[in-house]
């Protein structure tokens, strides 16, 4: 099921640069699309595990022509939010 979209324009709001597209199924899928090439340059797949949030993120590196992967995890805390972000194996 398609969810909302968010568009990012130039300062004059004339030219579309990026669009964030969202889909919701058993988990949420986000894609960042660059315009005018219409190329997907980033992806995020998220899911919930017993009150904990976990997401896989992939960002396209145009210099190496490869996807760089990472993880985002929300940890259970009584007060506030605590996240761990692992990026490119670090």
Q: What is the DSSP string of 37-84?
A: TTEEEEEEEEEEETTEEEEEEEEEETTTTEEEEEEEEEEP-SSS-EEE
Answer whether residue 1 shows pLDDT above 60: no
Q: Does the domain at residues 2-87 carry the CATH identifier 1.10.3470?
A: no
Q: What is the pLDDT of residue 76?
A: 78
Q: What is the pLDDT of residue 15?
A: 92
Q: What is the pLDDT of residue 3?
A: 64
pTM of the model: 0.70
At 36-86, the pLDDT tens digits run: 999 999 998 887 776 678 888 999 998 999 999 999 888 877 888 888 889
């Amino acid at each position: 099921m398609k969810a909302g979209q968010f568009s990012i324009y130039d300062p004059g709001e004339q030219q579309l640069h990026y669009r964030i597209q969202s889909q919701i199924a058993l988990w949420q899928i986000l894609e960042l699309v660059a315009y005018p090439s219409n190329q997907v340059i980033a992806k995020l797949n998220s899911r919930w595990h017993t009150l904990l949030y976990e997401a896989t993120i992939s960002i396209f590196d145009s210099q190496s022509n490869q996807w760089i992967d990472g993880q985002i995890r929300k940890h259970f805390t009584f007060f506030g939010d605590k996240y761990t972000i692992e990026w490119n194996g670090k």
